[in-house]
Structure 1
Amino acid sequence: MPVDRLLPTDEARALIELTREVADKELATRVDDHERGDGTYPEGLFGTLGETGLLGLPYPEEQGGGGQPYEVYLQVLEELAARWAAVAVTVSVHGLSCFPLATFGTAEQQERWLPSMLAGEMVGGYSLSEPQAGSDAAALRCRAVKDDAGDYRITGEKAWITHGGKADFYALFARTGEGSRGISCFLAPGQTDGLVFGKPEEKMGLHGVPTTSATWDGGVVEADRLIGQEGQGLSIAFAALDSGRLGIAACATGLAQAALDAAVEYANERQAFGKKIVDHQGLGFLLADMAAAVDSARATYLDAARRRDAGVPYSRQASVAKLICTDAAMKVTTDAVQVFGGYGYTRDFPVERYMREAKIMQIFEGTNQIQRLVISRHFAR
């Protein structure tokens, strides 16, 4: 059932209606075909989303974006995730990948690349994690060394790249010096000599979009693709992740909403002991708790988004939103399987997929244990 949203403008209301139309037509009708088994990539889909203007929404119009406040953009992500979580996560990651250039790039760099990125002509990936450096980003080892021409030769391993091997560009973080101030950010082309992507990970969920490792074997990234200053990479990465965590919070809420909707519909159709199972108090209370979790999750990410839109600090609230929304998604999707009983454990209904998809949301963009660490450190300050 469509969520009755409180939106700030008529333009925002029209955008949500457009999103629902596109999501129902392009995502809901295709998701099962691509998420079954090992999954197949939805060729052309992100180009379609780009043509409708959904890939650059939170960036200023003068940069080629949609000029939408973050509270509206996140509700668009939620609508997409309610139909197809893998696609919504990829849209969120694309926005995350545009952030370094849009925020720290020079005017010349932005003019050269940003319009095609925000229009969805180029779809991005985010390449920060490594096999031994996930939540501990400061421990990354992939190196960028200047050659005689002043360009950078990249050597090392990257891991857990959403859209890996399919993206047109990557926000790449590599070491140019020592310590936490020795990491730099690059806008790396998706196809480069010396860059090889690994076999897609065999994931529990989100099958439709690949997640891969990557090996850089001396691949060259030109000097003008350095974003910001040498050594500024970690601060760029962490600034981007605050926004990225809100994106995942919205995706998790959309997934939870889809699970709630499916459970409510089933509970109104299924009968036991002479009445609809929704009329049994035990199950009705379960649905009530699921609804409360979804509503609370949405309120939490919107609070953080409105702080971001107002230009006030929101890092702690972003971690709170990521924690609350993804934990809610795990609980609500698990309870949805319970509502369906034995049928919930089969692929005849989508709730088993929702449950599998929810698990990763507690892990990427910083595990929920890391979110608790981030939140507690704010109090220590």
Structure 2
Amino acid sequence: MRAFTEEQTMFRQAYRRFLAAEVVPHMARFREQGVVDREVYRKAGEQGFLMVWPDECYGGMGDRDIRFEQVIIEEIARADVFEFFAPLHSRLVGPYLDTFGNAEQKQRWLPGCVSGETILAVAMTEPDAGSDLAGMRTHARDMGDHYLLNGAKTYISNGLLADLVVVAAKTDPENNPHAMALMVVERGMPGFERGKKLDKMGLAAQDTAELFFHDVKVPKANVLGDPSKGFHYLMHGLAEERLLAAFQNVGMARKAFDITRTFVMERRVFGKPLSAQQNTQFQMAAIEAELDMAQVYVDQCATWLNEGQLSSARAARAKLLSSEALWRMLDLGVQLHGGTGYMMESPICRMFVDGRVARILAGSSEIMKLIIAREIFADDYPSLLD
């Protein structure tokens, strides 16, 4: 029994209607133009769907239950509109402003984020630094009343749409590779430039870009929290980020399962439905059991997060298992579709290329295994925690 409240169930129904009216009819155009219209964010904000958790004084509902975001992600999966990645804005980036921002910063930025007038992104990844944040080269020099920011970021989701970008930059690169600041760079700041939209394997409508910073003057009023503790701030948000990825993985896998189930029941082979073949039944039975087990664990992780008990290793397990299960489902889906599954006009084919990134984003499967291993062997090999 899944632990959604009556309010969350009503929220799900309303959000499903929103997607059907404002997103689904336009997805073909969004994919062709390579980006979702800004207007979709504003409409989501108007109806209270963009950022649920901020306090009412900022325009939100003030309910921080992660299950609201789980509902949003599951409905995005059900509608097959993964490129409308509102959770990146709402629950990956927004909390940095709330958790580490001061009262003035929250009042300055959160209302626009809730309304959809202001779109968010976070910039951590660099060409030579992904999961290894200590390898970051972007740096910020203290100039008294501001920081001088220089560097480059890549693979930044919402890179083109974003009005505010939370940028991670080292503040003492010579002496302390972990000393870094999270600073909010605003659209239009001199020296802040965006590269062209990156041409990805999948997720055609989800804009991903390179960002460049050339002597950008970032006021100290735009720095979140302690300018030497940005590394720890990023670590604070990674467990939740990986859980959100797990929500999407399971939702996407379930959508692929449903598409494949419908296809094998309709496709006839040797005079019988493909679903009548024992191999098809066994393959679908095995993956369905795997997805059910993944869903149970991911739901438990949501409970742990709400209770403040979601550890890095627990989140890593959810992300690892869900992304690998998704990949197996997508591969099976294409296989059971046969030649149809290899055609880009087929939903399962597009989902196959869209879903490949799941084993990479928010930390690759290999990184997840390292995190889990650290917990398993920490007592025997303390150096693993370094």
Shorter-chain TM-score: what band?
Answer: over 0.9
Match among 40, 44, 52 for residue 45 of structure 1: 40
Q: What SS class does the counterpart of residue 235 from structure 2 fall into?
A: helix
Q: 1:313 to 1:144 in 2, by over 3 A?
A: same
Alignment-mate amino acid for residue 355 of structure 1: F
Match of 1:370 in 2: 367
Alignment-mate amino acid for residue 17 of structure 2: E
Q: Is 1:299 paired with 2:296?
A: yes
Q: 1:331 to 1:72 in 2, by over 3 A?
A: same
Q: Is 1:161 paired with 2:145?
A: no
Q: CA deviation at 1:289?
A: 2.3
Q: Is 1:117 paired with 2:105?
A: no
Q: 1:284 to 1:191 in 2, by over 3 A?
A: farther
On the 8 A contact 1:180/1:234 being kept in 2, the answer is no
Distance (Å, rounded) in 2 between the aligned partners of 1:144 and 1:47: 33
Match among 88, 95, 99 for residue 99 of structure 1: 95
Identity among equivalent positions (%) equals 26
Match of 1:269 in 2: 266
Match of 1:13 in 2: 9
Of stretches 283-292 and 315-324 in structure 1, the one that deviates more from structure 2 is 283-292
Q: 1:152 to 1:257 in 2, by over 3 A?
A: same
Distance (Å, rounded) in 2 between the aligned partners of 1:313 and 1:209: 28
Match among 239, 244, 247 for residue 247 of structure 1: 244
Distance (Å, rounded) in 1 between the aligned partners of 2:64 and 2:283: 36
Q: CA deviation at 1:246?
A: 1.3
Task: Write the deviation string for residues 56-100 of structure 1: whole angstroms up to 9, x where unpaired.
Answer: 124444554331411332132121133211213x42354211121
On the 8 A contact 1:7/1:13 being kept in 2, the answer is no
Matches within 5 A, 1:55-204: 55-61=50-56, 63-66=58-61, 67-82=63-78, 83-88=80-85, 90-148=86-144, 150-178=145-173, 179-204=176-201
Distance (Å, rounded) in 2 between the aligned partners of 1:257 and 1:152: 46
> What's the Cα RMSD here?
1.8
How many residues are matched?
A: 374
Structure 1 gap ranges (5+) = none
On the 8 A contact 2:38/2:161 being kept in 1, the answer is no
Match among 3, 25, 28 for residue 24 of structure 2: 28
TM value normalised by structure 1: 0.93
Match of 1:347 in 2: 344
Q: 1:104 to 1:40 in 2, by over 3 A?
A: closer
Distance (Å, rounded) in 2 between the aligned partners of 1:287 and 1:35: 30
Distance (Å, rounded) in 2 between the aligned partners of 1:60 and 1:35: 34
Q: 1:43 to 1:338 in 2, by over 3 A?
A: same
Q: 1:59 to 1:210 in 2, by over 3 A?
A: same
Distance (Å, rounded) in 2 between the aligned partners of 1:207 and 1:164: 14
Q: CA deviation at 1:204?
A: 0.4
Q: 1:61 to 1:309 in 2, by over 3 A?
A: farther
Q: 1:77 to 1:61 in 2, by over 3 A?
A: farther
Q: 1:30 to 1:254 in 2, by over 3 A?
A: farther
Structure 2 gap ranges (5+) = 379-386
Task: Write the deviation string for residues 206-255 of structure 1: whole angstroms up to 9, x where unpaired.
Answer: 11021111110011111111101011101111111211111111112221
On the 8 A contact 2:36/2:83 being kept in 1, the answer is no
